[in-house]
């Protein structure tokens, strides 16, 4: 027998009360303390603030206070600011013409619905006023002493929705999230000063982060802010990016491949100055470095895409972290081509951190202080003379048993003035030692030549990828939507040697594949490309497969480790490196050479 089916009662449709509506809205806008900081700091920026101070206690759970010197609000403005969907940013006539951080009119009412909120503000020419709201209950407007600007104080976040507190992470984790939000906004606005304090326990608290307003032009201000947020190493090893195409402009700084990171923590992307976490943009950044980084390394960059607001929709999600471009392929192409052009323009340059790490490796282990020498223990002058005589080198005495050194004839003086200098010796049949005007260069001959051969192979492949026809075409069944996506890029795939044609319904026929790939699973390749198109809107999979083949060919065709090289060969390699883009790193992003300044070498030996 079948079990009795419970009788279904018709559910009633109810109008939610204002308190429930506000709490639901708050759940979308304010996920954690860092979300509240983001909304309040963005409001301060929209108010034209030049200095912003953020204080927090216990990871922002018990206190968040944001103080700014912006335009402020009057007594008439404050109650409206706490009403849902009330905003000064837009008039509602055009939701694509967004030129401010905020525009939805949800942040302050949402914060007031889940915490204890006090806003104190003063506009120019008006008296200072304060207004409080707790839960959804608004207090009376009262006078307050304040200079021009606004102070927003949020206490006991989520006291009205205690269940949310169970999902909060540790104070340290929430502090880290707040710091990340402030630093991202500091990078977005380099002409604005920021101060972040931890006031847990009361008092003045501890300054966690401070950045003074930038000076000079935009790039000067951004470089100073980048150095403050990401460190001097990033600033010294970043390339200036400034490229414009079809009304889109890409500006910022992107690091050299040899300054890569183990994760994506140093990637900051902005759209019209708004920090975004957009998969398409991060995928484009990854694709730009695909040819110079291994899969386990990540590029570092601070980039802003500026365009007409009508070409990008920022009203995708209440948190405004995602955007949708009207022309995503144009944006992606700008990032990929712009960054590749900048990396190629860097020539043979490698990051300065390579030399720093090398010098650190050279430093001897610290030793305990030597015992104090009293006057009676000092050697006599004759003893010093005998010691110096013993230190005079004898021919052949210092021959290293594990290192074979090929001496090089005295080079022409002008070669030492070249960026990579003049070859002096080859050690261990793999490392070229070259002298420069300011120091020395150590070159990994195999890694360097591998990059040079790879670039030559790519240049030849760029003139056309040879395709091989399949004796029997491979038929791949796809959904109609996936087939349409694939056929939209059929011409691009054909230029890479992959020829696909419609085969009725959602099927496609693969008639030719790139000859370089040899035997290839065409069905798996097509499905991988389709997945990329669905996920990112584009695919670099075929290009990366071809580049991987060229990279392997370059590895087998390059100068091998252990091969002795003549002086003219070593100097020829150095000159070709100087003339070849991206020669400062091998095909996997590792440095091909290390440059050591003479002053650094002398410091190693305590001479400076």
Residue 390 lies in a domain: no
Give 153's pLDDT tier (boundaries 50, 70, 90): very high
In a domain, 370, yes or no: no
CATH number at residue 281: 3.30.230.10
Same domain, 148 and 281: no
pLDDT at 360: 66
End-to-end CA distance of the chain: 95
Kindly state whether residues 100 and 236 are assigned to the same domain: no
485 plus 545 within the same structural domain: yes
Q: Does residue 409 share a domain with residue 341?
A: no
**Does the pLDDT at position 384 exceed 50?**
no
The answer to whether residue 185 scores a pLDDT higher than 80 is: yes
Q: Give me the pLDDT at residue 443, please.
A: 93
The residue out of 211, 233, 268 marking a domain boundary is 211
Say what the pLDDT of residue 526 is: 85
- Whether 196 maps to a domain, the answer reads yes
- What pLDDT does 525 receive? 81
How sure is the predictor about 400, in pLDDT bands with cuts at 50, 70 and 90?
A: very low
Mean of the per-residue pLDDT values of the chain: 80
**The domain containing residue 420 runs over which residues?**
347-363+403-608
What value does the mean pLDDT take over residues 224-229?
A: 94
User: Of the spans 70-84, 213-227, 465-479, which averages the highest pLDDT?
Assistant: 213-227
**CATH code where residue 507 lies:** 3.30.1370.100
Q: Are 103 and 96 in contact (CB under 8 A)?
A: no
Domain boundary residue among 193, 211, 229?
211
Which has more confidence, 396 or 339?
339
Range with the poorest average pLDDT among 32-46, 81-95, 164-178, 240-254: 81-95
Under the banding of pLDDT at 50, 70 and 90, the label for residue 29 is low
Listed range (58-62, 139-143, 156-160, 261-265) with the worst mean pLDDT: 156-160
What is the predicted pLDDT for the residue at 393? 40
The verdict on residue 46 lying in a domain is yes
Q: Are residues 506 and 602 in the same domain?
A: yes
Same domain, 340 and 419: no
Residue 366 has pLDDT above 80, yes or no: no
Same domain for 181 and 138? yes
Three-state secondary structure call for residue 472: strand
Does 384 reside within a domain?
A: no
121-135, 142-156, 234-248, 365-379: which has the minimum mean pLDDT? 365-379
Q: Which of 5-9, 367-371, 513-517, 577-581 has the highest mean pLDDT?
A: 577-581
Question: Tokens at residue 237, please?
Answer: 């090893």
Q: Residues 222-235: what's their mean pLDDT?
A: 92
User: What pLDDT, on a 0 to 100 scale, did the predictor assign at position 441?
Assistant: 92
- Predicted pLDDT of residue 385: 47
| pLDDT for residue 268 | 95
pLDDT of 57 higher than 90 = yes
Q: Is the pLDDT of residue 197 over 90?
A: yes
- More confident call, 575 vs 411: 575
Q: Is 6 a domain residue?
A: no
Helices marked H in 207-254 — which ranges?
Answer: 218-230, 232-236
For the residues 420-436, what does the mean pLDDT come to?
A: 92
Other beta carbons within 10 Å of 364? 6
Is pLDDT at 253 greater than 90 in this prediction? yes
The whole-angstrom distance between residue 408's C-alpha and the CA centroid of its chain comes to: 43
What is the DSSP pairing of strand 193-198 with strand 51-57?
Answer: parallel
Q: Per-residue confidence at 389, pLDDT binned at 50, 70, 90?
A: very low
Higher pLDDT, 94 or 595: 595
Q: How confident is the model at residue 23 (pLDDT cuts 50, 70, 90)?
A: low
Asked if 186 and 331 sit in the same domain, the reply is: no
Q: What is the CATH number of the domain that holds 99?
A: 3.30.565.10
pTM of the model: 0.70
What's the half-sphere exposure (Cβ side, CA atoms, 13 Å) at 222? 21
Q: Where does the pLDDT of residue 398 fall: very low under 50, low under 70, confident under 90, or very high at 90 and above? A: very low
pLDDT at 571 over 50: yes
pLDDT in tens, 533-543: 776 666 666 66
| Same domain (yes/no): 320, 174 | no
104, 142, 156, 252, 583 from 119: Cα distances, Å: 19, 11, 15, 35, 57
Helices (H) and strands (E) in the chain, counts: 19, 24
pLDDT score of 394 more than 60: no
> What is the DSSP code string of 248-308?
EEEEEEEE-GGG-BSSSTTEEEEETTEE---HHHHHHHHHHTTTTS-TT-B--EEEEEE--
For residues 197 and 86, give the distance between their C-alpha atoms in angstroms, rounded to a whole number: 30
**Predicted pLDDT at 375:** 41
Residue ending a domain, among 188, 211, 234, is 211
Same domain, yes or no: 495 and 469: yes
CA-wise closest residue to 301 among 276, 345, 261, 267: 267
Residues 112 and 65 in one domain: yes
Q: Is 424 helix (H, G, I), strand (E, B) or coil?
A: strand
In a domain, 84, yes or no: yes
pLDDT of the residue at 91: 44
Q: What is the pLDDT of residue 343?
A: 87
Number of domains in the chain: 3
Helix 522-536 to helix 541-556 angle (10° resolution) is 120
pLDDT at 392 > cutoff 50: no
* Residue 340 belongs to some domain of the structure: yes
What's the whole-number mean pLDDT along residues 579-601?
84
At residue 376, the pLDDT reads: 39
If asked whether residues 115 and 73 sit together in one domain, one would say yes
Judged against a pLDDT cut of 60, whether residue 310 lies above it is answered with yes
For 278-305, how does the pLDDT look when each residue is reduced to its tens digit (9 = 90+)? 888 998 999 888 888 877 789 999 999 9
What number is the average pLDDT over the span 38-48? Answer: 91
- What does the pLDDT look like over 499-514, one tens digit per residue? 899 998 889 999 988 8
How far is CA 5 from its chain centroid? 57
pLDDT at 403 over 60: no
Question: pLDDT tens, 441-459?
Answer: 999 998 888 888 888 777 7
Cα 389 to its chain centre, rounded Å, is: 57
Q: Residue 213's pLDDT is what? A: 95
CA distance 415 to 421: 6
| Model confidence at 107: pLDDT above 80 | no
């Amino acid at each position: 027998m079948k079990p009795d089916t419970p009788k279904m009662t018709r559910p009633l449709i109810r109008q939610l009360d204002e308190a429930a509506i506000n709490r639901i809205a708050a759940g979308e806008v304010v996920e954690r303390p860092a979300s509240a900081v983001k909304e309040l700091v963005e409001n301060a920026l929209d108010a034209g603030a030049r200095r912003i101070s953020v204080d927090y206690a216990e990871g922002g759970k018990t206190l968040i206070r944001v103080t700014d010197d912006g335009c402020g609000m009057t007594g008439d403005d404050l109650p409206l600011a706490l009403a849902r969907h009330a905003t000064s940013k837009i008039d509602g006539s055009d939701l694509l013409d967004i030129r401010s951080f905020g525009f939805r009119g949800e942040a302050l009412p949402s914060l007031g619905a889940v915490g204890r909120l006090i806003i104190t503000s003063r506009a120019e020419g008006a008296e200072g006023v304060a207004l409080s709201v707790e839960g959804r209950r608004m207090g009376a407007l009262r006078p307050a002493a304040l200079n021009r600007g606004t102070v927003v104080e949020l206490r006991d976040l989520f006291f009205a929705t205690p269940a949310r507190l169970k999902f909060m992470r540790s104070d340290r984790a929430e502090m880290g999230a707040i710091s990340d939000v402030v630093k991202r906004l500091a990078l977005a606005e380099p002409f604005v000063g920021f101060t972040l304090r931890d006031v847990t326990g009361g008092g003045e608290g501890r300054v966690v982060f401070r950045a003074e307003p930038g000076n000079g032009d935009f790039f000067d201000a951004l470089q100073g802010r980048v150095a403050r947020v990401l460190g001097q190493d990033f600033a010294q090893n970043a390339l200036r990016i400034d490229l414009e195409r079809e009304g889109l402009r890409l500006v910022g700084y992107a690091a050299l491949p040899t300054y890569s990171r183990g994760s994506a923590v140093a990637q900051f992307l902005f759209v019209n100055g708004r920090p975004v976490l957009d998969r398409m943009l991060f995928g484009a950044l990854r694709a730009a470095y695909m040819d110079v980084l291994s899969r386990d390394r990540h590029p570092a960059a601070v980039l802003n895409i500026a365009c007409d607001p009508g070409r990008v929709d920022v009203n995708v999600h209440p948190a405004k972290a995602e955007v949708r471009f009207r022309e995503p392929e144009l944006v992606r192409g700008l990032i990929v081509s712009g960054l590749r052009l900048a990396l190629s323009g860097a020539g043979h340059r490698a990051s300065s951190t390579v030399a720093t790490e090398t010098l650190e490796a050279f430093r001897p282990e610290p030793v305990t202080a030597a015992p104090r020498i009293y006057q009676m223990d000092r050697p006599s002058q004759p003893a010093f003379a005998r010691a110096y005589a013993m230190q005079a080198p004898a021919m052949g005495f210092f021959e290293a048993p594990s290192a074979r050194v090929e001496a090089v004839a005295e080079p022409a003086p002008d070669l030492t003035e070249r960026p990579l200098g003049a070859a002096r010796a080859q050690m261990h049949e793999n490392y070229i030692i070259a002298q420069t005007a300011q120091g020395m260069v150590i070159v990994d001959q195999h890694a360097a030549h591998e990059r040079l051969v790879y670039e030559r192979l790519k240049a030849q492949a760029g003139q056309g990828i040879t395709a091989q026809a399949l004796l029997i075409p491979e038929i791949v069944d796809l959904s109609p939507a996936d087939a349409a996506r694939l056929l939209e890029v059929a011409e691009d795939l054909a230029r890479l040697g992959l020829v696909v044609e419609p085969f009725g319904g959602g099927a496609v026929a693969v008639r030719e594949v790139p000859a370089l790939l040899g035997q290839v699973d065409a069905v798996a390749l097509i499905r991988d490309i389709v997945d990329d198109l669905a996920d990112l809107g584009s695919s670099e999979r075929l290009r990366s497969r071809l580049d991987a083949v060229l990279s392997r060919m370059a590895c087998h065709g390059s100068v091998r480790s252990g091969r002795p090289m003549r002086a003219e060969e070593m100097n020829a390699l150095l000159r070709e490196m100087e003339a070849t883009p991206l020669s400062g790193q091998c095909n996997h992003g590792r440095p091909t050479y290390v440059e050591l300044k003479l002053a650094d070498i002398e410091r190693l030996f305590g001479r400076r």
